[in-house]
Amino acid sequence: MVIFIVFTTGTLPGFNIKLIDKIPLAQETGLLENVWDFCVTGDHLFLVPDYKAGNVKIFGPNGNLVKVLGRKGFGPDELLKPAYCFYDKEKDKFGVFDFGTRKIFIYNRIGKTGFERVKEIYCLAGATGIQLKDNKLLVSGYKSGSSGTHYDFYYVDLTNDQTTFLLPSYYKYGLISWHQFKTQYINNPGIKAIGIAAWFDICGDNAYFAWEGDLRIIKIDITSGEIDFFGEKPSHYIKPFASKSLLEARRTMNFKIIESEWDKMSYIKDIFASSKYVLVIYKGPVKPGSESNYWMQFYTLAGNYLEDIPIPGNPGSRMCFDKDKDILYSLSSEVDEELFERYFVLEYKLGK
């Protein structure tokens, strides 16, 4: 484990974020092949789905590999393309969305590193965010309702497999009606070019939801279904838009240009909610020589804006938050001189 000298963002009053540790995950060549997400247990294990290898790598607090969960395939306890995941510390449950089988698999934890698959939920249209609350599996992902309606946030009651819809798709994209969704989204390549991923977190009976293409937080009461909106866009935030270059690159599947266009804009990367505040993390436009292109916003649970500060240390796009300890974890990677991608977990402490 490598310990760094603590540093902060410096001059801004109020909140600060300190990089306190950088933990290299096992550095064997090619051990991690393609990573979309990760999560952290209460006793500091790092669970990392490997999309290409079709398994979940489990690393200890020092970054050493301690176990591989599953293998590639369609059979029992096998995975095809594991992508997004969660860990429920209260119930010691782990869940992962498998892009290959279009299922969410839920595991009970047994002992230190044992995991038993106990439930699977079909998720045909995909999911970018999944969490457990009581016996509800909450999902950020597209799902059709009755009469041609569309939703982008819902939950499945694990006791009876019934679905409850929470967020109509038009709200996700800043529209105000089904009519606008049908006329301005479904046939609009511009909105689709920006992206469809969305993230959420839960505090009490409220879910806080944010689409990657707009710094606008949607507060949803899971019990009543009531919906509210808030969000503050600072001057350095550039809302994603469908430029001509982006649309042409999407048409020709030129991923290099797609990424270069995305780098000119500000994309939401995650959202977290604790008993103290709501945190929104977004990546700003890439600027040569800048210390960090990632920013963190603080809001009250009621949606009042508090502060916006940069995140130091070149974090990665996937993050986890320990709400009890105010610790933020980021999965980052670097390419070494042999052109191998090496993964690290950056550990940050939030404070005032």
**Mean pLDDT across the stretch 122-137?**
94
CB neighbours of residue 175 within 10 Å? 18
**Mean pLDDT across the stretch 82-105?**
96
pLDDT at 164: 95
Q: Does position 140 have pLDDT exceeding 70, yes or no?
A: yes
The domain spans of the chain are 1-124+318-352
Confidence of residue 292 (pLDDT cuts 50, 70, 90): low
Q: Does position 9 have pLDDT exceeding 70, yes or no?
A: no
**Mean pLDDT across the stretch 150-158?**
96
Q: Does position 12 have pLDDT exceeding 70, yes or no?
A: no
| CB-neighbour burial class of residue 246 (10 A; exposed 0-12, middle 13-18, buried 19+) | buried
Q: What architecture is domain 1-124+318-352?
A: Beta Barrel (2.40)
pLDDT at 1: 39
pLDDT at 184: 82
Confidence of residue 8 (pLDDT cuts 50, 70, 90): very low
Give the strand pairing for 71-72 and 78-79: parallel
User: Which value, to the nearest 10 degrees, does the dihedral of the CA atoms of residues 203, 118, 44, 64 take?
Assistant: -150
Of the candidates 98, 114, 108, the residue with the CA atom closest to the CA atom of residue 52:
98
Confidence of residue 288 (pLDDT cuts 50, 70, 90): low
Work out the percent of the chain whose per-residue pLDDT is above 70.
94
Longest dimension (CA), the chain: 58
C-alpha span between 55 and 79 (Å, rounded): 6
Confidence of residue 147 (pLDDT cuts 50, 70, 90): confident
pLDDT at 36: 92
Residue where the block lists tokens 């020709």: 252
Q: Does position 6 have pLDDT exceeding 60, yes or no?
A: no
- Greater confidence (191 vs 162) lies with 162
Confidence of residue 180 (pLDDT cuts 50, 70, 90): confident
Q: Does position 315 have pLDDT exceeding 70, yes or no?
A: yes
Q: Does position 19 have pLDDT exceeding 50, yes or no?
A: yes
pLDDT at 102: 95
SS3 sequence of the chain: CEECCCCCCCCCCCCEEEEEEEEECCCCCCCCCCECCCEECCCCCEEEEECCCCEEEEECCCCCEEEEECEECCCCCEECCEEEEEEECCCCEEEEEECCCCEEEEEEEECCCEEEEEEEEECCCCCCEEEEECCEEEEEEEEECHHHCEEEEEEEECCCCEEEEEEEHHHHCCCCCHHHHHHHHCCCHHHHHHCCCEEEEEECCEEEEEECCCCCEEEEECCCCCEEEECCCCCCCCCCCCCHHHHHHHHHCCHHHHHHHHCCCCEEEEEEECCCCEEEEEECCCCCCCCCCEEEEEECCCCCEEEEEECCCCCCCEEEEECCCCEEEEEEEEECCCCCEEEEEEEEEEEC
State phi, psi for 125 to the nearest 5 degrees: -90, 0
229-262 confidence digits (pLDDT tens) = 999 999 999 999 999 999 999 999 999 999 899 9
* Range with lowest mean pLDDT among 223-227, 286-290, 331-335: 286-290
Residues 6+ away with beta carbon under 8 Å from 12 = 307, 309
